[in-house]
């Protein structure tokens, strides 16, 4: 009789496992829907993904929250928006409170799942090793069979941006048979780079096919939900890293076996028009696995009987490697609204990594030669404060409707929803990155904790101050000057930004601006200096920037960016640039190298014997 209870437990446990699905998540990198055949590109060769769509469900409106890998995966692993934790800047690895926020594989393991990740982690989070939550970092079908239910990730790197680099002249795909985005000029090198990347997508699709074949051979296909999607959009310039459709609209295909047909969203082979945000995936997988779904999760369940409706999707762009920016976007299935908090930063900033690609180099040269038009040349200019696109007729997002009065109600609606989203989700990026890091470190709190303390991070005040700054209305000058006297550095920052934005439309009180050169916040100082530079007092600006650079200011990366944006050479700053030792995760060094002021490494002298 003493053996009966363990046997009963074993039988009950096995029966419970059989009632829950395995999940095979087949991820890939850096491609939007335009590279996949079943989404309508006749030149794409993706037979395995296309076949999976006929066996399952093709989601037509799935979007990444971040248009680049590390912040996107940061959002996935936690189920919390990267911009809500401070992990939104690329390659930053700022800490989060790990005692509060679990990684979703932790919760799956607690629910009895075997969890394995064969491929990329790259969570952009400090304080914990990326490999720690996984039972395994490889695919072993025999092990998986013995450890059902399982959650297995297989990531293909064949479509990564780096695969679009190199020689573009000898391609399997014909450059004459590619579908160019409207924002790209029709020149040979760009066509060749499209063809080259189509070759890589075909190889990625073969990886998906191999994984599906292995699942079938294992005999577990009837117990396994298969999910395929990219980690964000891409990959040619103006896609990855940007909040347009090209950077966020991702393929999502899900196949659900008959055994779990109650989880199906529609008839097999259907195109599903539900709006899905990447933040939803974590909570959805946990729900399907019958694991705990903590209250801090910010997504919604998009699949199964516990499905939650979604009306809007939000995405965010901040620093991308060595380049500063700050953008938010909100959308429904038709309209995309974009708010540019740094309109003075051009879209097409030179990014060392992106400029490795032949198409990017050719596009920039085409622009410099004066051969682009209003659409193909816009990428290299500064941004408007706001943008609105009707994505149903303009999927390439080239026709900005922001000033068309017919769409004013949609602008108002989406802008209001974005404001509320920022409050509900604790948007941590309404202060410059290094200002936020400095303040959080001084408080002894993680950014996640800091922004949830209203006595430290006055998000509502920053919203109001930034909104005033972006209105670009001369009537706001008294309010902007008042903000420059605020006790809160964040309010003062938006006060100086508002003055900067108005400089060409209003006579600024330069005494007020000069006082800002002594502000405690270095970010306030450098923007005040830029106002003076544009007003003709270049010496005052240069003195300010050189002093901060020589002292290795925490705002050094922004100064490097500004000097490059101005485009009048860096000779007055060479000595200070060379002396700057503030790292900013190594990106100041990258700017030093780009601008030709990096010190050569010191060679160690061999001792004579």
- Mean pLDDT, the chain, whole residue set: 95
584 three-class SS? coil
State how beta strands 327-331 and 114-118 pair: unpaired
Q: Distance (Å, rounded) from C-alpha 459 to C-alpha 490?
A: 9
Per-residue confidence (pLDDT) for residue 598, from 0 to 100: 82
For the segment 64-76, the average pLDDT, to the nearest whole number, is: 97
pLDDT in tens, 162-183: 999 999 999 999 999 999 999 9
- The residues, ordered by sequence, that sit 6+ positions from 464 with a Cβ below 8 Å of its Cβ are none
Q: Please answer whether residues 228 and 246 qualify as being in contact, where contact means their C-beta atoms are separated by less than 8 angstroms.
A: no
For the segment 464-477, the average pLDDT, to the nearest whole number, is: 97
pLDDT in tens, 81-128: 999 999 999 999 999 999 999 999 999 999 999 999 998 899 999 999
235 upstream amide cis, omega within 30 of 0: yes
State how beta strands 125-126 and 94-95 pair: parallel
| DSSP at 94 | E
In the chain the domains, ranked by start, together with CATH numbers, are 17-335 (3.40.720.10), 548-600 (no CATH)
State how beta strands 114-118 and 150-155 pair: parallel
Per-residue confidence (pLDDT) for residue 98, from 0 to 100: 98
Position 600 pLDDT exceeds 50: no
Q: Distance (Å, rounded) from C-alpha 82 to C-alpha 298?
A: 11
Position 375 pLDDT exceeds 90: yes
pLDDT in tens, 514-573: 999 999 999 999 999 999 999 999 999 999 999 999 999 999 999 999 999 999 999 999
Return the percentage of the chain with pLDDT > 70, whole number.
95
Position 13 pLDDT exceeds 80: no
> Which region, left, alpha or beta, applies to residue 510 given φ > 0 means left and ψ of -120 to 50 means alpha?
alpha
Per-residue confidence (pLDDT) for residue 599, from 0 to 100: 62
Position 15 pLDDT exceeds 90: no
Kindly compute the dihedral angle of the four CA atoms of residues 389, 390, 396, 402, in this order, to the nearest 10 degrees. -20
Query: Which residues is 136 bridged to in the sheet?
Result: 116
Per-residue confidence (pLDDT) for residue 96, from 0 to 100: 98
Per-residue confidence (pLDDT) for residue 539, from 0 to 100: 98
In degrees and rounded to multiples of 5, residue 36 shows phi and psi of -120, 130
Per-residue confidence (pLDDT) for residue 17, from 0 to 100: 53
Q: What is the pTM of this model?
A: 0.95
- The residues, ordered by sequence, that sit 6+ positions from 545 with a Cβ below 8 Å of its Cβ are 526, 529, 559, 562, 563, 573, 576
For the segment 333-342, the average pLDDT, to the nearest whole number, is: 98
Position 33 pLDDT exceeds 70: yes
Q: Distance of alpha carbon 188 from its chain centroid, rounded?
A: 30
**pLDDT-derived band at 80, boundaries 50, 70, 90:** very high
**pLDDT-derived band at 394, boundaries 50, 70, 90:** very high
Q: Please answer whether residues 81 and 279 qualify as being in contact, where contact means their C-beta atoms are separated by less than 8 angstroms.
A: yes
**pLDDT-derived band at 18, boundaries 50, 70, 90:** low
pLDDT in tens, 273-317: 999 999 999 999 999 999 999 999 999 999 999 999 999 999 999
Per-residue confidence (pLDDT) for residue 420, from 0 to 100: 98
pLDDT in tens, 46-59: 999 999 999 999 99
- Alpha helix (H) residue ranges in 317-432: 358-368, 408-424
Per-residue confidence (pLDDT) for residue 520, from 0 to 100: 98
Q: Distance (Å, rounded) from C-alpha 463 to C-alpha 601?
A: 44
């Amino acid at each position: 009789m003493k053996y009966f209870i363990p046997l009963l437990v074993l039988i009950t446990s096995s029966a419970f496992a059989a009632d829950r699905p395995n999940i095979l998540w087949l991820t890939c990198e850096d491609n939007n829907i335009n590279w996949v055949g079943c989404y309508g590109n006749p030149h794409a060769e993706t037979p395995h993904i296309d076949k999976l769509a006929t066996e399952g469900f093709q989601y037509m409106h799935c979007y990444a929250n971040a248009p680049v890998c590390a912040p996107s995966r940061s959002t996935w692993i936690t189920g919390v928006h990267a911009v809500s934790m401070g992990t939104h800047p690329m390659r930053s690895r700022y800490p989060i409170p790990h005692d509060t926020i679990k990684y979703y594989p932790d919760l799956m393991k607690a629910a009895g799942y075997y969890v394995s990740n064969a491929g990329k982690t790259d969570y952009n989070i400090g304080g914990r090793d990326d490999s720690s939550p996984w039972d395994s970092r490889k695919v072993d079908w025999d092990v998986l069979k013995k450890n059902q239910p399982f959650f297995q990730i297989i990531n293909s790197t064949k479509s990564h941006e780096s695969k679009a680099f190199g020689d573009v002249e000898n391609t399997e795909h014909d450059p004459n048979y590619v579908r160019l985005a409207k924002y790209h000029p029709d020149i040979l090198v760009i066509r060749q780079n499209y063809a080259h990347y189509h070759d890589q997508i075909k190889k990625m699709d073969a990886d998906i096919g191999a994984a599906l074949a292995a699942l079938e051979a294992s005999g577990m296909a009837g117990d396994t939900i298969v999910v395929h999607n990219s980690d964000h959009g891409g990959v040619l310039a103006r896609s990855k890293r940007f909040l347009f459709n090209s950077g966020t609209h991702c393929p999502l295909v899900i196949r659900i076996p008959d055994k779990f047909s109650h989880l199906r969203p529609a008839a097999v082979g259907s195109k599903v028009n539900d709006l899905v945000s990447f933040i939803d995936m974590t909570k959805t997988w946990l729900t399907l696995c019958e694991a705990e779904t903590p209250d801090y999760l910010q997504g919604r369940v998009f699949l199964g009987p516990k499905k939650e409706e979604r009306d809007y999707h939000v995405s965010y762009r901040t620093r991308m490697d060595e380049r500063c920016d700050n953008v938010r976007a909100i959308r429904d299935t038709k309209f995309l609204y974009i708010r540019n908090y740094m309109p003075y930063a051009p879209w097409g900033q030179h990014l060392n990594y992106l400029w490795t690609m032949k198409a990017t180099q050719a596009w920039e040269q085409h622009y410099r030669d004066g051969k682009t038009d209003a659409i193909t040349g816009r990428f290299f200019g500064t941004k408007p404060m706001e943008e609105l696109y009707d994505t149903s007729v303009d999927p390439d997002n080239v026709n900005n409707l922001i000033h068309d009065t017919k769409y004013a109600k949609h602008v108002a609606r989406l802008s209001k929803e974005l404001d509320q989203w920022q409050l509900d989700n604790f948007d941590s990026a309404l202060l410059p990155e290094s200002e936020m890091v400095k303040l959080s470190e001084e408080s002894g709190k993680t950014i996640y904790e800091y922004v949830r303390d209203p006595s430290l991070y006055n998000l509502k005040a920053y919203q109001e101050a930034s909104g005033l700054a972006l209105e670009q209305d001369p009537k706001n000058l008294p309010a902007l000057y008042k903000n420059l006297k605020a006790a809160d550095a964040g309010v003062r920052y938006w006060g100086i930004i508002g003055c900067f934005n108005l400089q060409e439309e209003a006579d600024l009180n330069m005494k007020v601006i000069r006082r800002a050169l002594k502000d405690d916040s270095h970010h306030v100082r450098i923007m005040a200096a830029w106002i003076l530079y544009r007003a003709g007092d270049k010496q005052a600006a240069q003195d300010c920037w050189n002093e901060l650079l020589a002292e290795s200011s925490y705002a050094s990366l922004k100064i490097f960016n500004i000097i490059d944006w101005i485009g009048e050479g860096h000779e007055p700053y060479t000595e200070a640039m060379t002396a700057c030792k503030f790292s900013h995760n190594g990106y100041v060094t990258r700017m030093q190298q780009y601008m030709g002021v990096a010190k050569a490494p010191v060679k160690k002298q061999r001792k004579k014997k």
